Amino acid sequence: MYAVEMKDIIKRFGSFTANNGITLLVKKGEIHCLLGENGAGKSTLMNILFGLYRQDSGEIRINGKSVENHSPLAASRMGLGMVHQHFMLVDALSVWENVVVGLEPGGFRIDRKESIRKVQELSDRYHFELNAEEQVGNLSVGMKQRVEILKTVYRGAEIIIMDEPTAVLSPPEVEQFLMILRDMRADGKTIIFITHKLKETLAVADRITVLRAGKSVSTIEAGNASARELAGMMVGHEVDLEIERPFNEAGGAVLSVEGLRLLPNAASTVSFDIREGEIFGIAGVEGNGQKQLEEMIMGLIKCREGRISVLGKDVTKLGTRKRRQLGIGYIPSDRLNRALLSSFSLEDNYLLGKQFSDNYVRHGIVRHKAVKEAAGTLMREYDVRAAGMDQAAGSLSGGNQQKLVVGREASDEPKLIIACQPVRGLDIGAIHYIHEILLKLRKEGKAILLISAELTDIQQLSDRIAVLYKGEILAARKNEDFTEEEIGLLIAGHREAV
């Protein structure tokens, strides 16, 4: 008996076909992973299942009953619940208020006692360790997510869709989350788990459906799958997941950070050096001061305490332009907002950040020919696929946008590269490519600061690793001197793991 049957689902947006005949069969009481790269059609398919979009063709059955005139309301009546990637919670309200909202026990007056009792009972049943009367704003991201799950369960959901639920969690939180999924399965719930992470998929799934470019590639038993095989199915060809980081002699210090206070209430300040030919990785969940570190180094926000120097020159008081002119390449974590002018041509985007260099602008006049040439070379060298130089940067795929940004920031001989979340949202092939580029730049003697929420990035690329937690560095060591467990625990703030 299938809890969910979606057959030959087709959904088009204009000329773009997001779902091109996808079939998904989910058994009752299983954890079913929906695996695929960004843009493979996972979210579209789930939005169709939840009634947010209407399919152009194809059939949907829930618990054997054919679904016509679908809507989110009809979906929840049929026992479907969805936990979105971005939380929909009211921070100022308590846990129970967030959970019962819209379906409060009691008549005209909300039965407060009954509400709290019900919510607490549900939380205890799945070992959520939530206090129903706690204010949601005080909770950690991981706990907030549990409130979201509680909302669906409270509404009687038997089939729960989770859209990339682990993207925001630290490694230990991910472990706990997977435990919760298993508890819920034991309780008879059916879970559809959307992800692009192979490790989690293999750890928790009963069955796996792989999507690629809007089509379902296949559905397999998790017991018979390997990471390599799944990656191949996601990408469509054999992929090499390993990358080699050869020994590289590090030179003199390029970036020195001394006593920098990242968050106003951080327990201590951060200090580190990065040397020529070295990748220094900052591990940690986002929101622990990464953004502040990135923007303080680039001069985008003021640093109130501490000193930053580049090649021995104190830059703490300098503006962004002067810092860039010292030879800093900057790959911002917020690619679309900080690194690109979406509606501008690729040529104009190449110029961004280089408009103060004599190579491209002389006497205030843009040297279009030089810009065009350099941009063309970049597009060839970094394999940026575009219709032409006039194409708007916003219409490139995420991977090509990032190649453009990385290529631009790596060109014109920078001494230091600040690479923030460089592979976020990219598919496996592009991630591998960006990794290779960073290692190549390291070999050329550039100093690289790598800030990433992906532990695999940090481990594969870094010579030294620092773990950032609540604005302080809990530990910084050579890559080889950390075990994966240690880093995971440090990321979650377990200082004693050092």
Partner 1 sequence: MGSADMRSFLAFLGRSLAAVLLSFAVSALIMLVSGYNPALAFASMIRGSFGSANSFANTLSKSVPLIFAGLACAYANKGGIFNIGCEGQLYMGAFVSTVTALSLRGMPRLFVIIASILTGMAAGAAVGSFNGFLKAKMKLNEVVVAIMLNYICRFFTSFFVSGILKDPDSETPQTLPVGEHYMFSKLIPKTQLTTALFLALIAALAMFFFFRETRAGYNVRAVGENGAAAEASGINVARTMILTMAVSGGLAGLTGVTEVFGKSERFIDGFSPGYGFTGIAIAFLAGNHPLGILLSALLFGIIQAGSMKMSYEAGVSTSMISVIQGLVILFVATPELVSIRIGRRRTA
Contact residues for partner 1 (CB under 8 A)? 10, 54-57, 298, 300, 319-325, 330, 332, 334, 337-345, 348, 351-353, 355-356, 361, 364-366, 368, 388-391
Please say which residue, 64 or 319, places its beta carbon nearer to partner 1: 319
Q: Report how far residue 278's alpha carbon sits from residue 415's, in angstroms, rounded to the nearest whole number.
A: 11
Kindly state the smallest distance separating residue 365's Cβ from partner 1, in Å: 6
Kindly state the smallest distance separating residue 17's Cβ from partner 1, in Å: 11
Please say which residue, 234 or 451, places its beta carbon nearer to partner 1: 451
Please say which residue, 31 or 404, places its beta carbon nearer to partner 1: 404
Going by C-alpha positions, the residue among 373, 392, 258 that lies closest to residue 315 is: 258
Kindly state the smallest distance separating residue 13's Cβ from partner 1, in Å: 11
Structure tokens at 350: 């190449």
Q: Report how far residue 70's alpha carbon sits from residue 375's, in angstroms, rounded to the nearest whole number.
A: 48
Kindly state the smallest distance separating residue 390's Cβ from partner 1, in Å: 4
Kindly state the smallest distance separating residue 384's Cβ from partner 1, in Å: 17
- CB–CB of 3/28 below 8 Å? yes
Q: Report how far residue 356's alpha carbon sits from residue 348's, in angstroms, rounded to the nearest whole number.
A: 13
Structure tokens at 416: 């230091």
Kindly state the smallest distance separating residue 418's Cβ from partner 1, in Å: 10
Kindly state the smallest distance separating residue 387's Cβ from partner 1, in Å: 9
Please say which residue, 277 or 332, places its beta carbon nearer to partner 1: 332
Using left for φ > 0, alpha for ψ between -120 and 50, and beta otherwise, residue 63 falls in left
Please say which residue, 272 or 330, places its beta carbon nearer to partner 1: 330
Please say which residue, 5 or 347, places its beta carbon nearer to partner 1: 347
Kindly state the smallest distance separating residue 66's Cβ from partner 1, in Å: 15
Q: Report how far residue 366's alpha carbon sits from residue 215's, in angstroms, rounded to the nearest whole number.
A: 46
Please say which residue, 224 or 337, places its beta carbon nearer to partner 1: 337
Please say which residue, 324 or 435, places its beta carbon nearer to partner 1: 324
Please say which residue, 228 or 338, places its beta carbon nearer to partner 1: 338
Kindly state the smallest distance separating residue 313's Cβ from partner 1, in Å: 17
